[in-house]
Amino acid sequence: MKARVKTYLNERTQKPSVNAPNYHYYSPGDEIEIVEIVNGDNYEGIDVWYKLNNDSFVWSGGVEGMISLESLDPNRISTKSISSWGIEKLNIPSIWEQYEATGKDINVAILDTGISDHRDFSKRIIYKDFYGNSDTPLDEDDANHGTSCAGIVGSSCNSNYGLAPEANLHIFRVMKFKLFPKKDILNKSLEWIVQNGQNIDIISISISFIDEDPITKQLIYELIHKDKIIVSSVGNSSKLANFFPASYPEVLSIGAIDQDLKKIEKSAPSDHISLLAPGFELPTTKTRTGTGSFSGTSAATAYVAGVFALILSYTKKNNIKISNQEIKKFVIENTDRYGRSKFSIESGYGIINPLKVIEAIKTNT
């Protein structure tokens, strides 16, 4: 793919590093031919580099625009450049390449602390502020909680952090800081989706309350009736905890595992947990061009939202007639068992297996 240089940019040989030999530079306006996306030295908060058709490398921060998944030949996208263990270990590249599922035309609502103006989301962000009245994307949480969740769901493949790099992200800012959510603001956002969110397919909620709310419960019932998929974090606790909205039966309640596919200590045991997903030190987006890692059941919930975006894009692309609630059943029925029991309060029905789900849908629909 051709791209245009926006600043004076050194061409590096041998490896994607600011310390690699440099025998040539590009000027603003020069065109380059990109053949592969790779990870390299972190420079000014950006660790993404482009490999050129002459086997040299340039830093992506000096290039205009975003490189989308469809812009490159899939056979040239190196899975070796993927830095997220959750993407590698659960075979997400096979879904991208074999089934050509990238989340395209799927809409994911993320109800969280908002989002920073980050380069990895390009023009796929639809932002609505229920906490304040900002028209500009905003995330004031100290840990960039909302931005981190959004990156796991669908940052562009520049960084290879997002599961569904072509999904549309509806960012609903419902709290300023992760630790201080309010039920009335959450309900306001859910009510908006009931009334106006006809195109929203998936709703990701990383908010936990210790008790039920009749209004939240009714709104979730209405959203399920409209065939929305709702995923919510089981919560971070070492003791048995039945948080809401994750404990409503219509909601998929998500716990977290680490690189060894073991449940992380702070992933709460729950009577209502549905399944486990990667949620430990996942690389993701932070402020503007920044990156970092993110852990916890919120990270796992974002991961599952991204998985659903991939599955729905596959069924939509192939015109498979299946409801979202039926897809939920396929996801539960095709988990990998965790331990000996079919269900436990520690792990629900097991570890999500995205590739297995798609193969099951392909075979049985």
* Span 327-342, pLDDT tens digits: 999 999 999 999 989 9
Q: Which residue has the higher pLDDT, 65 or 295?
A: 295
Whole-Å CA distances, 21 to 10, 63, 266: 10, 20, 45
CA distance 355 to 357: 5
Beta strands across the sheet bearing 2-4: 2-4, 31-43, 46-52, 57-59, 9-12, 22-26
Q: Which residue has the higher pLDDT, 3 or 100?
A: 100
Digit-coded pLDDT (tens) for 156-192? 755 557 999 999 999 999 999 877 789 999 999 999 9
Q: Which residue has the higher pLDDT, 103 or 59?
A: 103
Task: Identify whether the C-beta of residue 232 lies closer than 8 Å to the C-beta of residue 207.
Answer: yes
Check whether 79 has a pLDDT greater than 80: no
Question: What is the band of 122 on the pLDDT scale with cuts at 50, 70, 90?
Answer: low
Sort strands 252-257 and 2-4 into parallel, antiparallel or unpaired. unpaired
pLDDT at 288: 64
pLDDT at 1: 66
**What are the residues whose beta carbons fall under 8 Å from the beta carbon of 130, sequence distance 6 or more?**
172, 173, 174, 185, 188, 189, 192
By the 10 Å C-beta count (0-12 exposed, 13-18 middle, 19+ buried), 14 is classed as exposed
Mean pLDDT, residues 312-321 = 97
Mean pLDDT, residues 213-228 = 98
Question: What is the band of 213 on the pLDDT scale with cuts at 50, 70, 90?
Answer: very high
Sort strands 57-59 and 229-233 into parallel, antiparallel or unpaired. unpaired
| Whole-structure pTM value | 0.79
Task: Identify whether the C-beta of residue 169 lies closer than 8 Å to the C-beta of residue 124.
Answer: yes
CA distance 4 to 31: 5
Question: What is the band of 129 on the pLDDT scale with cuts at 50, 70, 90?
Answer: very high
pLDDT at 19: 87
Ordered by where they begin, the domains of the chain are 2-65 (2.30.30), 85-364 (3.40.50.200)
Residue 195: what are its φ and ψ, rounded to 5°? -85, -30
pLDDT at 73: 40
Q: Comparing 62-66, 129-133, 140-144, 231-235, which segment has the lowest mean pLDDT? A: 62-66
**Element of type H or E holding 19:** none
* Omega within 30 of 0 (cis) for the link into 245: yes
Q: Of all residues in the chain, what percent carry a pLDDT higher than 70?
A: 92
Hey, is 125 helix, strand or coil? strand
Task: Identify whether the C-beta of residue 163 lies closer than 8 Å to the C-beta of residue 154.
Answer: yes
pLDDT at 69: 37
By the 10 Å C-beta count (0-12 exposed, 13-18 middle, 19+ buried), 271 is classed as exposed
Check whether 76 has a pLDDT greater than 50: no
pLDDT at 286: 85
Mean pLDDT, residues 132-147 = 88
Sort strands 168-173 and 125-129 into parallel, antiparallel or unpaired. parallel
pLDDT at 199: 97
CA distance 344 to 341: 6
Question: What is the band of 277 on the pLDDT scale with cuts at 50, 70, 90?
Answer: very high
Q: Of all residues in the chain, what percent carry a pLDDT higher than 90?
A: 64
By the 10 Å C-beta count (0-12 exposed, 13-18 middle, 19+ buried), 238 is classed as exposed
- Which among 58, 61, 62, 64 is positioned nearest to 22, based on CA atoms? 58
Give the HSE-up count for residue 80: Cα atoms under 13 Å, Cβ half-sphere.
Answer: 7
Task: Identify whether the C-beta of residue 335 lies closer than 8 Å to the C-beta of residue 350.
Answer: yes
Digit-coded pLDDT (tens) for 37-67? 788 888 877 877 888 878 889 988 888 754 4
Cα Rg, the chain, nearest whole Å:
20
